[in-house]
Every structure is written in structure tokens, then in C-alpha cells.
């Protein structure tokens, strides 16, 4: 009779131990999830581009570097008096770009080179003024009379040099799937911003091949993406029946969207007047190709591509109406980043549970 209680204790003890272990494991998972949430929240705020920039100055003003106060955009007189050209660092169809100096700070001075394209130059200036945000290079001043624009200098240059930059010893630690995916998120964030800008839905028209796209964006020293060239940014207005055409010449190749290509075959000579217009979904078509460049061939990048396969397939739908919006693409990219960070932080947890 006395052995019964002893027998009961031995029967229940093994069942209590796994219950305690499971409870501890679940508590650890919940704690890890909470820490991941806090980390990702901070991560998005610092790296993922929140909508509003607390350091942004009122319209017509700027600040950069360690300067706390906002200064008005430099005028023609101030640019002529205070800005000193150092060397030419680039030249395109519309403007020539000079590395310059203003108050011992490196800046970029852009000047019109072809008077026939002055409308494009002034359109780019108008866009630059109206779209100042965390997604756009900082405007420091301009002179319409002399067709001159002054912007912030970013020593890492355009995205064309991304892979070379990531092989520099100083930046090799940045060459991870994690950081590369964040750059892709930055890029899609810019597209989303342009598609829902204060001016309306804008299309990034200077994007007929990958190299051209990459040349329109800058890589900042803290590894963000900024759009730099806004000369070709037409407005879509569906309610007014206004669509766009990116230039007046025939576009070819798989990089441009199907609706941007001549639809009447080789036997019919191209005529701009017969070319149908299109909307912002041309930008969506190009996202997978640009993101593929960002992801590169580092360890883990193929896993990221696998998770993005479905959204990228949707971006490549022939019918523009069936493609996702930039916001939908951005949401998917962020979800994939969160998922992969969680999996990297607690591998094998699913099997343990």
C-alpha cells in the first residue's frame, strides 16, 4: 500500500520534464521573435528608408554633413562666387558633370552641354526641386540662366561600380546577400516613391538597358541608393487619359517592357506617331533584372532569388495590368528579408518544435 504514491510519482515525472523544456523553448522563441521585431524595426528605420526624413529641410533649403542648420539653395551669384570646379567626372547627352568644392566640401556641379536639350535639363531641375526626399540626391543650388545645378557629392559614384566597390577591402564586409537585398529594397523604394510622388505617377524613362538604369542612381557611403538623374521622368495621368512614351525612337531588346517595343513587326517601318503609349508598369518589368544585378553571386543570393521567384515572375507578365504595383513588390521584398533573417537567427527551430 505504501508503494502506490511512490509509483505515481515515477509515472508522472517523465511527462513533466518535456513540458517544462517545451515551455522554455517556446519562451525562448517568443523572446527571439521580439528581439527580431525590434531589430528589424530599427533596421528599416535606419536602412530601409522611412517615408519622412526628420533631417529634411523646408522647401528651398538644404543641409548635409555635420551641419545642423538649413541653408537656402545657392543662387547664381553664390554658385559663381563660392563654387570652384576641380575636374570633369562625367558627361552625358544632356550635361557635363564636375567634381567641385564649396566651403571646403566636395560637391557636384552639372552644366548643360547641348542647347537643343535645354528642356530636358530644365525638366530634370524641376523634378529635382519638387521631389527632394530620402530617395533623391540632395539639391544644393541651381542657376536656370546658366543651366547649372549643384548637388551633394557621393564618392562611391553610380551603381555601375557596385561590384568593384564591394571588392575593395574596406567594403568587403558589405558583400553579403543581406546587404545586397537591402540595396534592392532601396531601389524598389525609389520606384515606389516615383509612382506615388507628390507630382503624381512618374515613369523612369532613362532605363532602356541595365547599364543605363544603373547610371541613374548613386551609391551613398552608408550603402543606400539615391536616384540622381531625373531628366526623363514623364507623368502618367489615367484620369485624364495621359500615358507616356520614353523618347521618339524605336526601343529594342528584352530589357525594355513588351509594350515599349514596336508592335507591328519588322515589315512595318517604325513611326513614332503610330507607337502606342504606356504606363508606369514598364518600370515593374525591369525590377527583376535590376535586382538580379544587386544580388550578385554571393553566398545565400540564390536562396533570395528562390524566395523572390514568384513576385519576379509576376513582374514579367506580358500584360502590364497583370503586373504587381511597386508597393506590392516592395512589401514582398521586405517580407522575404524578414523571413530570411529569422531563419538565419534560429536555424532548426521548426524541427525542434
CATH code for 154-345?
A: 1.10.510.10
Distance in angstroms (rounded) separating the CA atoms of residues 195 and 279: 10
Contacts 24+ apart (CB under 8 A), 18-26: 25/352, 25/353, 26/353
Phi-psi region of 333 (alpha: psi -120 to 50; beta: other; left: phi over 0): alpha
CATH 1.10.560.10 correct for 71-153 = no
DSSP classification of residue 298 = S
Largest CA distance in the chain: 108
How far is it, in rounded angstroms, from Cα 187 to Cα 217? Answer: 9
105 neighbors 165 (Cβ within 8 angstroms): no
Supply 88's cell numbers: 570633369
Least confident of 23-32, 149-158, 210-219, 226-235: 23-32
Tell me: pLDDT of 158 over 60.
yes
pLDDT score, position 326? 98
| Residue 220 binned pLDDT confidence (cut-offs 50, 70, 90) | very high
Q: What is the pLDDT of residues 255-284, one digit of tens each?
A: 999 999 999 999 999 999 999 999 999 999
Measuring CA to CA, which residue among 324, 338, 316, 289 is closest to residue 178? 338
Q: What confidence score (pLDDT) does residue 292 get?
A: 98
- 40 vs 103: which has the higher pLDDT: 103
Residue range(s) occupied by CATH 1.10.510.10 in the chain: 154-345
Task: Give percent of the chain with pLDDT exceeding 90.
Answer: 75
Per the structure block, which three cell numbers stand in for 302?
540564390
Domain with CATH 3.30.200.20 in the chain: 71-153
What global pTM score does this model have? 0.84
294 three-state secondary structure: helix
Q: What angle do CA 311, 315, 319 make, to 5 degrees?
A: 135
Amino acid at each position: 500500500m505504501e508503494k502506490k504514491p511512490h509509483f505515481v510519482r515515477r509515472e508522472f515525472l517523465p511527462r513533466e520534464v518535456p513540458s517544462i523544456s517545451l515551455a522554455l523553448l517556446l519562451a525562448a522563441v517568443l523572446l527571439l521573435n521580439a528581439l527580431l521585431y525590434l531589430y528589424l524595426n530599427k533596421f528599416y528605420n535606419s536602412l530601409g528608408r522611412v517615408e519622412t526624413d526628420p533631417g529634411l529641410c523646408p522647401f528651398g533649403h538644404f543641409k548635409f554633413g555635420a551641419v545642423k542648420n538649413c541653408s537656402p539653395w545657392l543662387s547664381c551669384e553664390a554658385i559663381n562666387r563660392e563654387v570652384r570646379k576641380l575636374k570633369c567626372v562625367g558627361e552625358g547627352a544632356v550635361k557635363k558633370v564636375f567634381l567641385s568644392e564649396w566651403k571646403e566640401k566636395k560637391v557636384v556641379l552639372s552644366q548643360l552641354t547641348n542647347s537643343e536639350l535645354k528642356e530636358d535639363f530644365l525638366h530634370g531641375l524641376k523634378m529635382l526641386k519638387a521631389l527632394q526626399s530620402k530617395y533623391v540626391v540632395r539639391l544644393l543650388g541651381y542657376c536656370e540662366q546658366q543651366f547649372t545645378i549643384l548637388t551633394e557629392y557621393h564618392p562611391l559614384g553610380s551603381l555601375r561600380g557596385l561590384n568593384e566597390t564591394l571588392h575593395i577591402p574596406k567594403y568587403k564586409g558589405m558583400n553579403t546577400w543581406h546587404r545586397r537585398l537591402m540595396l534592392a529594397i532601396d531601389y524598389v523604394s525609389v520606384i515606389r516613391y516615383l509612382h506615388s510622388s507628390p507630382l503624381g505617377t512618374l515613369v523612369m524613362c532613362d532605363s532602356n538597358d541595365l547599364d543605363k538604369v544603373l547610371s541613374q542612381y548613386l551609391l551613398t557611403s552608408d550603402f543606400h541608393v539615391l536616384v540622381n538623374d531625373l531628366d526623363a521622368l514623364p507623368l502618367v495621368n489615367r484620369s485624364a487619359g495621359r500615358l507616356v512614351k520614353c523618347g521618339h525612337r524605336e526601343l529594342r531588346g528584352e530589357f525594355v517592357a513588351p509594350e515599349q517595343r514596336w508592335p507591328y513587326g519588322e515589315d512595318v517601318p517604325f513611326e513614332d506617331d503610330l507607337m502606342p503609349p504606356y504606363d508606369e508598369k514598364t518600370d515593374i518589368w525591369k525590377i527583376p533584372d535590376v535586382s538580379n544585378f544587386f544580388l550578385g553571386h554571393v553566398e545565400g543570393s540564390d536562396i533570395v532569388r528562390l524566395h523572390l521567384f514568384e513576385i519576379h515572375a509576376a513582374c514579367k507578365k506580358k500584360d502590364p495590368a497583370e503586373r504587381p504595383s511597386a508597393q506590392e513588390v516592395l512589401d514582398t521584398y521586405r517580407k522575404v528579408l524578414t523571413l530570411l533573417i529569422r531563419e538565419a537567427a534560429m536555424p532548426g527551430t521548426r524541427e525542434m518544435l
